[in-house]
Amino acid sequence: MLRAILSTSALGLALAATPVAPNALNSMAAFAASSSASSTSHSDSGHGGVHASAHSAADAAGAGASAPADGNASAHNEPANSFVEGVADSSLNTHARATGGTDPATGDDTTDAATADGDTTAQISSEGPHPGVIGALDAKVNLETAGPGAAADGSAAANAARLTDASTTSADLTGSSTGDGEAHGLAVSLSESSTFPDQTSTGSFSRARSFIDLSTSGGGTIGGRASADTASGTTASTGSDGEVLASSAATSDVAANSVGDGSASASVDVLIDSDGSVDTAARSAETDVRADGFAEAVNDGAGTGASASGTGSAAAEAGIDDETASSSASVDLSASVSTP
């Protein structure tokens, strides 16, 4: 019996003296996952203008983690009074998604992150002693992602229209980003028209401007357009001692797309002016018209493209007794670029 006890004690001492690997008794691996998401949106409307903004963000780390976030906003304004007669609209949405994972080579947790931001404004107003209407708006989209499981997308649109004629402006953007990608865009448009009737003279003014600027990197893509159209602004001054007519109209349109490591932009500016008058003392008639325009399109990178176009026309007539005068002018612009 004593020999058996000694043998057992010796075995215990031998085990105590043998080093034990830290994970020898517990081979279970440790894992962790975490996720976070946030979303905010805002919109307001009043005094002939609207504004909307939205933000979405998502982060995820480790296998089994996911986080989506969405933001939406819209606003509508339709005043009709002595100062403002028009409609303005703004809308946008943002979406961000992140999915965590592990590095296949090292087994370490990987982190994905995505952010999506959008912003739109639209304004229409009448001002000055000779009522003119200005419709101005812009749309913005910014998307950024990091990590193979990250994705973001968003769209923004805005428009303004005059209730008393067909003058309009509009702008819209749609984009997305995945992995290590970015997409940024801005689209802006403005239409302006005014008339200036008087007893012995009259004038008409129109301007249409549009601009778009896009840039992307990695897994980013974005596209959009902006346009402005001023309806023919015709004004007349008539009486027993002469007659004067003047008209003007302008349009602008831009479009662009960008993908990967690229950029694209386009701009148009069309300015139209016409006026006529009669001199009751000298018994003479006079007219002046102007049509100016500029269009440009620029791109860089495979799969990108941009286009710009614009038109404008002006005319004026004046007459008194047997004296008459008339003038007209027009522009027609076009520019485009693209890569395979």
Concatenated DSSP letters for 158-202? EEEEESSSS-EEEEEEEEEEEEEEEEEEEEEEEEEEEE---SSEE
- Do the beta carbons of residue 192 and residue 231 sit within 8 Å? no
Name the percent of the chain lying above pLDDT 90. Answer: 61
pLDDT at 5: 40
Asked whether 312 and 208 are in contact (CB, 8 A), the reply is yes
State residue 134's pLDDT score. 72
According to the model, what pLDDT value does residue 107 have? 78
Confidence of residue 63 (pLDDT cuts 50, 70, 90): confident
The whole-number pLDDT of residue 106 equals 82
Residue at 66 is within a domain: yes
> Model confidence at 131, in pLDDT bands (50, 70, 90)?
low
The runs of H, that is alpha helices, within the chain are: 2-17
What is the number of structural domains in the chain? 1
**Is residue 15 a part of any domain in this protein?**
no
Judge whether 114 lies within some domain: yes
pLDDT at 13: 38
Examine residue 196 and state whether it is found in any structural domain, yes or no: yes
Per-residue pLDDT at 127: 53
- Looking at the predicted structure, is the pLDDT value of residue 30 above 70? no
Is residue 67 scored above 80 in pLDDT? yes
User: So what's the pLDDT on residue 239?
Assistant: 64
Q: Which residue has the higher pLDDT, 256 or 103?
A: 256
Please check the confidence at residue 143 and state whether its pLDDT lies above 90: yes
Is 183 domain-assigned?
yes
pLDDT (0 to 100) of residue 139: 93
Query: Residue 186 pLDDT > 90, yes or no?
Result: yes
* Position 57 in a domain: yes
C-alpha distances in Å from residue 270, one per residue of 41, 218, 299: 35, 36, 22
Question: Percentage of the chain surpassing pLDDT 70?
Answer: 86
Name which residue leads in pLDDT, 231 or 340.
340
Q: What is the structure's pLDDT at 195? A: 83
- How much is the pLDDT for 240? 66
What is the mean predicted confidence (pLDDT) over 103-130?
79
Number of neighbours of residue 286 by Cβ within 10 angstroms: 17
Q: What is the arithmetic mean of pLDDT over 54-63?
A: 93
The boundaries of the domain holding residue 45 are 41-338
Over residues 190-218, mean pLDDT: 91
Residue 85 maps to a domain: yes
Q: Which two tokens stand for residue 232?
A: 């023919």
- How confident is the model at residue 133, as a pLDDT? 64
Confidence tier at 334 by pLDDT (50, 70, 90): very high
- Does residue 35 lie in a domain region? no
